[in-house]
Chain A
Amino acid sequence: AQKITQTQPGMFVQEKEAVTLDCTYDTSDPSYGLFWYKQPSSGEMIFLIYQGSYDQQNATEGRYSLNFQKARKSANLVISASQLGDSAMYFCAMRERDGYALNFGKGTSLLVTP
């Protein structure tokens, strides 16, 4: 069963606007971690942000923030002040208790327009 769901195959946003990429997850473990990765057209996987299930505050890293709603099992990525270089595939991933490997969603393609 799919544990990470990204319902938006593609998104458009205008430069300098904020954008939210959706991610919902499915787990019965109380201890888990949520990650977002960026994959530009060059193909490499770049780690953006991490949220632990016990973290009280939403994670932030520069222009990236993770909107963590535990009861809804959602972990949306918010990119503020979009830049042309933000155009890429974005993957949400989850680590469950005792596990080190990540389960990835299918990704969302983001295009930032001038």
Chain B
Amino acid sequence: DADVTQTPRNRITKTGKRIMLECSQTKGHDRMYWYRQDPGLGLRLIYYSFDVKDINKGEISDGYSVSRQAQAKFSLSLESAIPNQTALYFCATSSGPVGANVLTFGAGSRLTVL
């Protein structure tokens, strides 16, 4: 099993629908992140969490919300999906000192909003 598991892997939905992307990890890492990837734009940070009680907005948090249900679970919600939220979404985890804070990524969730 993968260390960082994202579900669903692919989702097609309609404008206005509520969508939840889920992320779970078995690495025991305390820090978790949600990124979004658009072609030509690289990866942009949506939200990140240092532990269950610590949630922080990233560069592009508008239109998104998150929930850290447990140390191992970090969910991303789109309350009312819109077409420009069509993207590849990555969950990532990390731990240890801030120095070489290597992020371990999930396989990604491809979301299409029609």
Interface residues of A (CB under 8 A from B): 4, 9, 33, 35, 43-45, 47, 50, 52, 91, 93, 95, 98-107
Contacts and interface: CB of A to CB of B under 8 A. Distances in A.
Nearest to B94: A100
Contacts of A35: 102
A104 B107 contact: no
Interface of B: 31, 33, 35, 40-45, 48, 50, 58, 88, 90, 92, 94, 98-105, 107-108
Contact of B41 (A45, A93, A95, A106): A106
Contact of B103 (A43, A47, A99): A47
B105 A44 contact: yes
Given A35-B102, A44-B108, A107 B42 contact: yes
Contact of B100 (A52, A101, A104): A52
